[in-house]
Amino acid sequence: MFRLIALASVLMLAACAHAPPRARIALPPLRLAPATLGYELAEQQRLVFHLGREQREMTALLEVDADALRLAVEALGQTGVRLHWDGRALDERRAAWLPPQVRGARVLDDIQFVLWPATAIRAALPPGWRLEADEQERRLLSGGTVWLSARYGEAGVRLDNAAEGYRLDIQSAAIGPTP
């Protein structure tokens, strides 16, 4: 379930043609090393992105191993964004039609928020930020307000980004060996 959220976040952002509301707070970057995930991952995901009344569906392919995270997000048969993160540098390749509001760094952070171990996320948080996590939900808080949350259920993962005003529903299916 944790695997689904990360990819869904990226895909939904890529499908949205309208700019999200201005962020009320800047979420902290995570930038966790791929190896800190603790296992290899290969998934295909169905993403449904919600921004206001807009709803877009996308598909994504996500792979993570000790050396890198690789993501490709497609909408209407066209690749919108490709990301490669090796723990030091983020390589982002974007289609010309992709809105400028879709940022590879935010997509990477959403993926890591959903999938990476809570201990690794907590270690990356700056002062003033707190992660609350259990098997069913994660909440990223600052000043007593939940700015980012992920809920894990049988149907997949739901990522709510209150800071930027979007929601992403993620359904994942393994395409390789499972951990």
Written as one letter, the residue type at 91 is D
What is the pLDDT confidence band of residue 16, given thresholds at 50, 70 and 90? very low
Question: Strand, coil or helix: what is 176?
Answer: coil
pLDDT in tens, 117-153: 999 999 999 999 999 999 999 999 999 999 999 999 9
> C-alpha angle 100/103/105, rounded to 5°?
160
> What is the residue-averaged pLDDT of the chain?
86
Whether the Cβ atoms of residue 48 and residue 12 lie closer than 8 Å to each other: yes
Burial class, 157, CB count within 10 angstroms (exposed 0-12 / middle 13-18 / buried 19+):
buried
pTM of the model: 0.84
